[in-house]
Amino acid sequence: MRSRASKFKQLRHFTALAALALGLVACANAPSRKTPPTASAQPLARVVVVTPDADHDVLAQLLAGELALGHTDLTAASGYYAKAMVLSNDPQVAERAAKLAIAVHDAAAAQQALDRWQALGATPVAMAEARAELSLDRGDADEARRQLELLIGSTDKDAWRQFGRVLVGARDQAQAARLLEALATPQRLPSDAQAWLAMSELGDKFGRHAYAMQIADAAVQRFKSAETYAWAAQMKFRDGDHAGAAALLQKALAKAPQNAQLRVAYAGMLSQGGDYAGATRVLEHGPQNAEVYSLRAALAARNNDNKTLAVLYQQLQKAPQDVRQQSLYLLGQLAEMQHRDAEALAWYGQVGDDDPHAFDADLRSALILHTQGKVADAHQLLDQLQMDYLDQPEPLRQAYQVDAELYLREQKYMQAEQAFSRALQVLPDDPGLLYSRGLTYAEAGQIDQAVQDFQRLLKIKPGDVDASNALGYTLADADRDLPEAEKLLQVARTAKPNDPAIADSWGWLQYRQGHLDQAAQTLRGAWLAHKDADVGVHLGEVLWKQGRRQDAQRVFDEVRKLDPHSSSLQATLKRLQP
């Protein structure tokens, strides 16, 4: 459509003003009179400019219609355009009126607008498209088919695109799917691969998979282009025919070896099938863009291939500027994986606010700053994120959670609890947040609050293994309600019989119940399965209580090597060796 100024400019006929101009000329040529001037009104004060009222002012109707559209009030907009159509000889106004009437399902107004549009010179193709839309909206499949046949039977280069647009917008998708299968046949489709692919994709969208596959296969046979091979491969892969899909993608790559998207698709397909080495080989050759580098890095990281990650980091730093600019977050990740924290911070700092990874870059920066000992800077950055993402619940939750976890590392339990509580205000009853806050309360010795959070979590997720274990351990550690702790831990053990953390909880419960031999046996098994500092502390205490102090001391020494600053070890030794 043309701009509103050129399209809707109207001339008003100010006949009274013209008459006034003539009168002024006549007065100027008339002989003067000797009569003194009177206190009459000035001539211009008597001018009356005739303007149409709003109902007969096409510009006013169009402006009102556009304002209604701005407020997504389609019904009001349709009414304004219906009035404007009657006042205007512009076919585009009638077209807009017809489209709006169809959109609000006003068949009578739509028919009137279509008749007006046709009278003003609408093309047969445009009319066929619009009448097909109206027929589908009415549920008249026969008339819709007749109009669609007129549309695709024309020589218009956009006919099939318009055909697809009509079907996509249909209220009755099943009816639209039947028309697609009836009209978009291999015999009728044009000599244009894009049209075939579009119809196959539309069939897939409508749930007519057999039709979509038929058109995809026929397009491959007719055009043998990279695009047709790639689409047919995607269809076969979804059907579970991974070998057939791979064969088609190989043909696609042979047709377009420089197409990075095809290589990414082929590599993704290979990696989903478990052929990570093959996926890597496919990506290593040909042009390298940001997406290729990202997938190569993901494959290397999955295989813990630090050598390849280092090579990728070097290559990406030398890549063209546009690729580097799109890969700033990836560069930061690669630097961080190689413990180049200063470089990682520099890359993350360059990630722009409009980059989809902007939040993640700031989050990673906060973690690095904290690792570097810049604790205040880390929390300050997280505070800023909490302000910046106040209206986005998920990022806000993450910012609070990371803030809380950093406070936990510092053993600042009150600040950690406050951060978790603020996160729970954003996402009440979030299981992960309740679990983390419960652990925080337990670490701080606020057992009642910890129990409340774990119990609340179990109401939300009855039988949850982690919550059952956490609550059971918390009760056992506090030496309270041991029968309830036993029930909870039995649930957890049944679900995960080989989990060292659950075994540790069960062993500690046995200790609290006075079953030292069972406790020592269970805790030793957990300690051998996973050398965790807390498990070692528990085992050492049990051995100490059994009188096996040398054995206990050896375990404590191992714990000290694992975690030289273990607060639980320090507290236990202080209790056992006052």
pLDDT per residue as tens digits for the range 386-424: 999 999 999 999 999 999 999 999 999 999 999 999 999
Q: Locate tokens 């700031």: which residue?
A: 362
Whether 175 is in a domain gets the answer: no
Cβ pair 260, 292 in contact under 8 A: yes
pLDDT at residue 86 greater than cutoff 70: yes
pLDDT at residue 176 greater than cutoff 80: yes
pLDDT value of position 251: 93
Whether 134 is in a domain gets the answer: no
Confidence of residue 16 (pLDDT cuts 50, 70, 90): very low
Q: Which residues contact 238 (CB under 8 A, 6 or more apart)?
A: none
Find the mean pLDDT for residues 194-219.
96
pLDDT at residue 273 greater than cutoff 50: yes
Bigger pLDDT: 261 or 471? 471
Whether 81 is in a domain gets the answer: yes
Whether 477 is in a domain gets the answer: yes
Q: What is the DSSP string of 56-123?
A: G-HHHHHHHHHHHHHTT-HHHHHHHHHHHHHH---HHHHHHHHHHHHHTT-HHHHHHHHHHHHHTT--
Distance CA 372, CA 288 (A): 34
What would the pLDDT profile of 520-574 be if each residue is shown by its tens digit?
999 999 999 999 999 999 999 999 999 999 999 999 999 999 999 888 899 999 9
Indicate the length of the chain as a whole number. 578
Distance CA 282, CA 268 (A): 10
pLDDT value of position 368: 97
Domain that holds residue 548: 463-578
Distance CA 540, CA 519 (A): 11
pLDDT at residue 37 greater than cutoff 90: no
What would the pLDDT profile of 509-529 be if each residue is shown by its tens digit?
999 999 999 999 999 999 999
Domain end position, chosen among 91, 122, 153: 122
pLDDT at residue 43 greater than cutoff 60: no
Q: What is the DSSP string of 242-282?
A: HHHHHHHHHHHHHH-TT-HHHHHHHHHHHHHTT-HHHHHHH
Cα atoms in the 13 Å half-sphere on the side-chain side of 69: 17
Cβ pair 447, 468 in contact under 8 A: no
What would the pLDDT profile of 431-489 be if each residue is shown by its tens digit?
999 999 999 999 999 999 999 999 999 999 999 999 999 999 999 999 999 999 999 99
Domain end position, chosen among 75, 100, 122: 122
CA 553 to chain centre: 53
Domain end position, chosen among 76, 107, 122: 122
pLDDT at residue 51 greater than cutoff 90: no
- Of the candidates 577, 564, 512, 499, the one whose C-alpha atom is nearest the C-alpha of residue 538 is 512
Domain harbouring 557, CATH code: 1.25.40.10
Token pair for 289:
């863009």
CA-derived radius of gyration, the chain:
38
CA 34 to chain centre: 87
pLDDT at residue 17 greater than cutoff 60: no
Whole-angstrom CA distances from 67 to 9, 58, 77, 85, 285 are 18, 14, 8, 17, 54
CB atoms within 10 A of CB 524: 18
pLDDT value of position 29: 36
Angular region, 299: left φ>0, alpha ψ -120 to 50, beta rest: alpha
Whether 308 is in a domain gets the answer: no
Whether 472 is in a domain gets the answer: yes
Distance CA 527, CA 541 (A): 13
Token pair for 269:
């397909």
Find the mean pLDDT for residues 213-218.
96
pLDDT at residue 18 greater than cutoff 80: no
Domain count, the chain: 2
pLDDT at residue 21 greater than cutoff 90: no
Whole-angstrom CA distances from 110 to 101, 298, 498 are 5, 54, 69
Whether 213 is in a domain gets the answer: no
Confidence of residue 68 (pLDDT cuts 50, 70, 90): very high
Q: Locate tokens 């498990």: which residue?
A: 535
Whether 317 is in a domain gets the answer: no
Q: What is the DSSP letter of 191?
A: S
Find the mean pLDDT for residues 243-272.
87
Cβ pair 181, 199 in contact under 8 A: no
pLDDT at residue 172 greater than cutoff 50: yes
Q: Which residues contact 378 (CB under 8 A, 6 or more apart)?
A: 366, 367, 369, 370, 406
What would the pLDDT profile of 299-358 be if each residue is shown by its tens digit?
999 989 999 999 999 999 999 999 999 999 999 999 999 999 999 999 999 999 999 999
- Of the candidates 203, 205, 222, 223, the one whose C-alpha atom is nearest the C-alpha of residue 213 is 203
For residue 167, the one-letter residue type is L
